[in-house]
Amino acid sequence: MSVESEGRGDTQRALDRLADLLLFPERFTEDPRAALEEYGLAGAIPDEVASVLSGMSPDELRLIAQVRRRQGLVKIEPEFGIIF
């Protein structure tokens, strides 16, 4: 299932742009609203997503940034699932 088919492409693209910012999460946790504006992302991310992101710890945000910078926008769900 592709991101586009889910209609969530814009959010996912915004998250990818946000990855550069989240790599230095202290800037984001200090003032999420100002940080989003600084990166031109104010309004680009749904409130629900921005709210969860702004409540996360620097370590959580760093994990997201690492994945997003490495993988970019591919697909949001694995095709094969997990049996573990």
Partner 1 sequence: MAFGSRTGSEGSRLRLKIEFVMPALAAGSHRLSSHSHPGIAYREYLITSHAVVRASVPLMEAAFARAQCMARDDPVSARLVSYLPEHIVEETDHDSWLLEDLESIAVDRCTVLDRPPSPRVAALVGAQYYWIHHYHPAALLGYMAVLEGTPPLLTAVEQMIERTGFDRRAFRTLIEHADIDKHHADEVFGVIDDLELTTEQSTLLGLSAMHTVVAIAAVIDEVVDRCHPGPIGPGRVVS
- Residues in contact with partner 1 by the rule CB under 8 A: 15, 29, 32-33, 47-57, 59-60, 63-64, 66-68, 70-84
Smallest distance, partner 1 to C-beta of residue 10, A: 14
Smallest distance, partner 1 to C-beta of residue 18, A: 10
Between the alpha carbon of residue 36 and those of residues 44, 58, 61, the distances in Å are 9, 16, 14
Q: How far apart are CA 46 and CA 1, in angstroms?
A: 21
Smallest distance, partner 1 to C-beta of residue 36, A: 9
Nearer to partner 1, 23 or 32 (CB): 32
